[in-house]
């Protein structure tokens, strides 16, 4: 499990006629989950997956969510796409089962004594990915591109799309910043500083506004809940944030101001929508997609249209597609809002179940963080910040196979650490009560 989480971003196959990394990563994900379940069954380790009475709620909710995905698949008119996913996205029933499995493995099977070693591994691999993204920005990428990206001048590395790359950077940036705050060893401290800086440069070059907003929200959470109350972290935190601000300033100047304009467009687009002056072009025409998608929610309220079938139910005229996307034949295959996507394709009950699942994890984490001490408290806050950053960017983005398994794994690790802290706290309290009675 450790090596899968750490190496998954690098699991690509760049050869062949049209190398599309989402398909490759999906195959790796399926192979890993299949092998893991075989190991669990043959070694009879399935009992370790069973939750204790006080920690069963999240797993039961997850089972309900997976059952709703299966129900949506059973009633769809698009069976193949619902089971295997669309050609380029691959988020069908099998993939959702794999996501749930990754959560379960991270939650119940990952050794808690070694779990903190996952974060340095994630950081080191992210440094490789970020460096390649920076090189790609300057047209120095050496891997072959797929047909959809051969004329593209932006940064997307091993994720097929800059938006997907941005959502990955949200996760790894906040994890790296968390480790930077907790680290005391000077060499490792320098490593996390460099990793965070490189990840931030790659995020700027990705031009992914959802990523900008996600990292900003996660950084604010860390500032308020971790740094503000601990004066010994102020200098360290200020050094990192000042470095990032200077990097943004220098890059913006050298790139003729395009990134400040990009960031400013977040504010102007939000104002246009809030003041009812929208043209539909806001958010790279996301608002147009959302306006056309909302009427589909009541139509597919209970079981949805089927996993990964958005392209079959979204309707827009060729004239609208030409106006908003410059191509009357373009296929809109995602809602560009993860929550809207779930509501339409899997159903509103599935969306509510998914949100309840996230809420339960957060509630346990908030309960545990009150009992945690030292770095464990900071790491738990950092994991919460990472989840918040991802959930925020998901409002403008979509779930995708190259990134989602990492997010589901972080959910599992967060739940595992929370339960461990709560158990240790309860055991310590019981010991104290027993000692007092004996005395």
Query: Which residue in 178, 154, 174 sits closest to 164, CA to CA?
Result: 154
pLDDT digits (tens, 9 = 90+) for 112-158: 777 778 888 888 999 999 999 999 999 888 888 877 777 777 788 89
Q: What is the largest CA-CA distance in the chain?
A: 83
pLDDT digits (tens, 9 = 90+) for 9-63: 999 888 877 778 888 999 999 999 999 999 888 877 777 777 666 667 889 999 9
The two structure tokens encoding residue 324: 């908003």
Mean pLDDT of 90-95: 95
Model confidence at 437: pLDDT above 70: no
Rounded-to-integer distance, Cα 421 and Cα 425, Å: 6
Please answer whether residues 172 and 34 qualify as being in contact, where contact means their C-beta atoms are separated by less than 8 angstroms.
Answer: no
Rounded-to-integer distance, Cα 177 and Cα 218, Å: 10
Summary mean pLDDT of the chain? 89
Give the per-residue pLDDT at 33: 96
Calculate the alpha carbon distances from 429 to 246, 416, 424, 433 in Å: 48, 20, 9, 6
pLDDT digits (tens, 9 = 90+) for 201-244: 999 999 999 999 999 999 999 999 999 989 999 999 999 999 99
Rounded-to-integer distance, Cα 260 and Cα 169, Å: 19
Please answer whether residues 375 and 182 qualify as being in contact, where contact means their C-beta atoms are separated by less than 8 angstroms.
Answer: yes
Model confidence at 170: pLDDT above 90: yes
Please answer whether residues 207 and 262 qualify as being in contact, where contact means their C-beta atoms are separated by less than 8 angstroms.
Answer: yes
Model confidence at 439: pLDDT above 70: no
Q: Give how far the C-alpha of residue 312 lies from the chain's centroid of Cα atoms, to the nearest Å.
A: 25
Query: Which residue in 7, 2, 22 sits closest to 148, CA to CA?
Result: 22
Please answer whether residues 180 and 226 qualify as being in contact, where contact means their C-beta atoms are separated by less than 8 angstroms.
Answer: no
Q: How many CB atoms lie within 10 A of CB 235?
A: 8
Rounded-to-integer distance, Cα 362 and Cα 415, Å: 8
Query: Which residue in 190, 206, 186 sits closest to 240, CA to CA?
Result: 190
The two structure tokens encoding residue 246: 């200077």
For residue 350, the SS3 value is helix
Give the per-residue pLDDT at 297: 96
Give the per-residue pLDDT at 152: 74
Taking the model in full, what pTM does it have? 0.94
Rounded-to-integer distance, Cα 110 and Cα 2, Å: 7
Calculate the alpha carbon distances from 382 to 172, 178, 227, 345, 401 in Å: 11, 5, 11, 32, 23
pLDDT bin (cut points 50, 70, 90) of residue 282 is confident
Q: Give how far the C-alpha of residue 228 lies from the chain's centroid of Cα atoms, to the nearest Å.
A: 26
The two structure tokens encoding residue 354: 């998914």
């Amino acid at each position: 499990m450790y090596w899968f989480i750490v190496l998954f971003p690098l699991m690509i196959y760049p050869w062949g006629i049209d190398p599309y990394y989402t398909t490759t990563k999906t195959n790796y994900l399926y192979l890993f989950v299949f092998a893991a379940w075989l190991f669990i069954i043959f070694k009879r380790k399935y009992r370790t997956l069973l939750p204790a009475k006080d920690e069963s709620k999240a797993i039961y909710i997850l089972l309900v969510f997976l059952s709703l995905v299966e129900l949506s698949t059973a009633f769809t008119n698009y069976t193949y796409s619902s089971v295997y996913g669309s050609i380029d996205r691959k988020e069908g029933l099998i993939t959702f089962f794999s996501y749930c499995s990754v959560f379960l493995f991270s939650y119940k099977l990952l050794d808690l004594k070694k779990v903190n070693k996952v974060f340095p591994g994630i950081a080191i691999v992210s440094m490789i990915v970020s460096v390649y993204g920076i090189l790609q920005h300057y047209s120095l990428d050496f891997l072959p591109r797929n047909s959809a990206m051969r004329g593209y001048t932006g940064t997307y590395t091993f994720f097929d799309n800059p938006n997907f790359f941005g959502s990955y950077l949200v996760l790894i940036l906040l994890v790296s910043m968390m480790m930077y705050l907790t680290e005391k060893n000077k060499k490792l401290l320098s490593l996390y500083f460099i990793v965070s800086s490189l990840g931030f440069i790659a995020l700027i070059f990705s031009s992914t506004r959802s990523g900008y907003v996600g990292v900003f929200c996660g950084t604010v959470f860390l500032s308020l809940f971790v740094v503000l109350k601990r004066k010994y972290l102020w200098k360290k935190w200020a050094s990192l944030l000042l470095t990032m601000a200077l990097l943004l300033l220098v890059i913006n100047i050298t790139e003729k101001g395009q990134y400040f304009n990009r960031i400013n467009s977040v504010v102007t687009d939000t104002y246009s929508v809030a003041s009812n002056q929208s043209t539909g072009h806001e958010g790279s025409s996301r608002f147009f997609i959302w306006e056309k998608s909302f009427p589909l929610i009541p139509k597919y309220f209970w079981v949805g249209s089927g996993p990964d079938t958005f392209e079959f139910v979204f309707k827009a005229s060729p004239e609208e597609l030409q106006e908003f996307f410059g191509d009357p034949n373009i296929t809109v295959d995602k809602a560009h809002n993860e929550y809207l996507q779930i509501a339409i394709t899997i159903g509103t009950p599935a969306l509510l179940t998914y949100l309840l699942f996230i809420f339960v994890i957060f509630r346990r984490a908030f309960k545990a963080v009150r009992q945690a001490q030292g770095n464990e408290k900071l790491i738990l806050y950092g994991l919460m910040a990472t989840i918040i950053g991802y959930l925020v960017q998901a409002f403008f983005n979509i779930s995708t196979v190259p990134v989602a398994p990492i997010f589901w794994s972080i959910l599992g690790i967060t739940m595992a650490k929370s339960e461990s802290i709560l158990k240790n706290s309860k055991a310590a309290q019981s010991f104290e009560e027993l000692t007092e009675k004996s005395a």
